[in-house]
């Protein structure tokens, strides 16, 4: 398994956009797959935000994770976010989500980002709690109960 920048795997754009749309965007009023593709294409950066990475095995795209700016509008003070962590069904259970989350954290640290945030529907923190992320607050956001978490990258 390799982790590559989405900027280097343009063939993955429609796959990543479809995952994002199906997992998080389908129920959002006014959102379309086309709009999701456009947002995904804005993440084709290499050394600035927003950016996305994909987990690959040869030509196969297994998963993705994104380094985003201000994901939740109710937290304008929280600038940098890990988001869109997704692993395709056939690749789950192999630790890829952990590897992608760590890769994004390492990349963020390399960009001198001190704190990285995320939101998860796993109210106990799930995978992220096991990876050392700390809870900030549980909130109801866009119709879902989510846990906002932080990882101190400066420590």
Range of the domain at 117: 2-152
- For residue 27, pLDDT over 90 is answered with no
Alpha carbon distance 82, 119 (integer Å): 8
CATH of the domain at 144: 3.40.630.30
Q: How many domains does the chain have?
A: 1
Q: Sheet containing 60-69: which strands, arranged edge to edge?
A: 2-5, 51-57, 60-69, 80-87, 115-120, 144-152, 134-141
pLDDT in tens, 70-109: 999 999 999 999 999 999 999 999 999 999 999 999 999 9
Predicted local confidence at residue 72, as pLDDT: 96
Question: Does the model's pTM come out above 0.85?
Answer: yes
């Amino acid at each position: 398994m390799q982790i590559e920048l989405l900027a280097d795997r343009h063939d993955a754009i429609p796959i990543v956009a479809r995952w994002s749309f199906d997992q998080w965007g389908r129920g959002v009023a006014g959102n379309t797959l086309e709009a999701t593709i456009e947002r995904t294409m804005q993440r084709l950066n290499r050394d600035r935000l927003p950016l996305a990475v994909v987990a690959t095995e040869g030509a196969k795209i297994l998963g993705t994770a994104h380094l985003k700016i201000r994901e939740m509008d109710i937290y304008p003070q929280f600038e940098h976010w890990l988001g869109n962590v997704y692993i395709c069904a056939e690749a789950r259970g192999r630790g890829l989500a952990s590897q992608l989350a760590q890769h994004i954290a390492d990349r963020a640290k390399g960009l001198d980002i001190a704190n990285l945030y995320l939101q998860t529907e796993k109210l106990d923190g799930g995978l992220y709690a096991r990876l050392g992320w700390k809870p900030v607050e549980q909130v109801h956001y866009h119709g879902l109960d989510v846990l906002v978490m932080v990882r101190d990258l400066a420590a």
